[in-house]
Amino acid sequence: MTHDARAVAQRMYEAFNARDLAAAETIFSADFASHPLGTVGVDSVVKAWSGLHATFPDIQVIVEDMVVDADKVAVRTSLQGVLGGAGVDDQPLPSMMEIFRVFRSPMERSRPRRNGSSQGEGVTMTYGYIASMKTQPGSRDEVVSILLSGVDGLREAGCHLYVVSVSDDDDVTIWVTEVWESKEHHDASLELPETKAAIGKAMPMLTGEFTGQELSVVGGLGL
């Protein structure tokens, strides 16, 4: 990677504060995915920025802390110029915590920009999913074995973390915690032949009681 991830993140906040919407073309990748917004692409970023600028004409994002680990950037920011911020009854500034992955790929380098130059770095966010499932009595351990049988191929599929957990106080519930490169990577993994085979094998041992929560991962140990 020829550009420092910290510099890319700083440039993103500078562009937002300067109302430089055209800079989004040089910062975000074509497949940039915002899981909180549920949007994909540079145009969605421009639309979100424009909406915030219109709603809060004086808004400024202030970087309070930034931690960089290779291509991952975790940032804590405060928001000035929004309702309820500092200066209104001495309330503290609203704050945000975000995590990005900065990358530079041949596809993005060669994609033409509107002004004719080439695209540079991109920023994307990491997708998390936490699920639970109930098993038939006496079947929990066998289902756990099935869930763990295909972990060797998950990293190639774009998985950064896959954890299967049980509780000594509950002999029918299994929890699965996952972190993926993107939601698209997660969804594509469900179409893999080995995944379909594992699901088919486990289903008769499940009660049909499931929970699931999509998340936007903001960092942590092991990521």
* Same domain, residue pair 137 and 111: no
Tell me whether residue 86 is in a domain. yes
Note the pLDDT of residue 108: 35
* Same domain, residue pair 158 and 94: no
* Same domain, residue pair 36 and 98: yes
The average pLDDT across 122-141 equals: 83
* Same domain, residue pair 95 and 175: no
Cα separation, 94 vs 202, in Å, equals 45
Cα separation, 219 vs 11, in Å, equals 21
- What one-letter code names the amino acid at 86? A
Note the pLDDT of residue 49: 87
Long-range CB contacts for residues 93-97, cutoff 8 Å, separation at least 24: 93/62, 95/64, 96/61, 97/218, 97/219
* Same domain, residue pair 149 and 203: yes
Structure tokens at 201: 């094998």
pLDDT beyond 60 at 109 = no
Of 124, 155, 171, the last residue of a domain is 124
* Same domain, residue pair 119 and 138: no
Beta strands in 2-158 (DSSP E): 33-34, 39-40, 60-69, 72-80, 95-103, 122-124, 126-135
Tell me whether residue 223 is in a domain. no
Tell me whether residue 191 is in a domain. yes
Note the pLDDT of residue 160: 87
Q: What pLDDT digit, counting tens, does each position of 154-165 carry?
A: 888 889 889 999
Tell me whether residue 21 is in a domain. yes
Return the CATH number at 203.
3.30.70.100
pTM of the predicted model, to two decimals?
0.47
Return the CATH number at 90.
3.10.450.50
Count of domains observed in the chain:
2
Helix (H), strand (E) at residue 206: strand 206-217
The average pLDDT across 43-52 equals: 85
* Same domain, residue pair 46 and 116: yes
Tell me whether residue 74 is in a domain. yes
* Same domain, residue pair 162 and 52: no
Q: For residue 25, how many other CB atoms are within 10 A of its CB?
A: 18
Of 124, 159, 182, the last residue of a domain is 124
* Same domain, residue pair 143 and 118: no
Q: Percent of the chain, pLDDT > 70?
A: 78
**What range does the domain containing 149 cover?**
126-217
DSSP 36: T
Tell me whether residue 95 is in a domain. yes
Structure tokens at 56: 């809060």
Residue 66: strand pairing partners: 75
- Residue 141 burial (10 A CB sphere; 0-12, 13-18, 19+): exposed
Structure tokens at 172: 């029918």
Helix (H), strand (E) at residue 163: strand 159-167
Of 124, 139, 165, the last residue of a domain is 124
- Provide the residue count of the chain: 223
The average pLDDT across 183-193 equals: 87
Tell me whether residue 109 is in a domain. yes
* Same domain, residue pair 135 and 110: no
Tell me whether residue 222 is in a domain. no
Note the pLDDT of residue 20: 93
* Same domain, residue pair 203 and 132: yes
Highest mean pLDDT range out of 34-38, 73-77, 120-124? 73-77
* Same domain, residue pair 144 and 112: no
Structure tokens at 210: 């499931």
Q: What pLDDT digit, counting tens, does each position of 85-104 carry?
A: 444 455 566 777 777 777 65
87 near 97, Cβ under 8 Å?
no
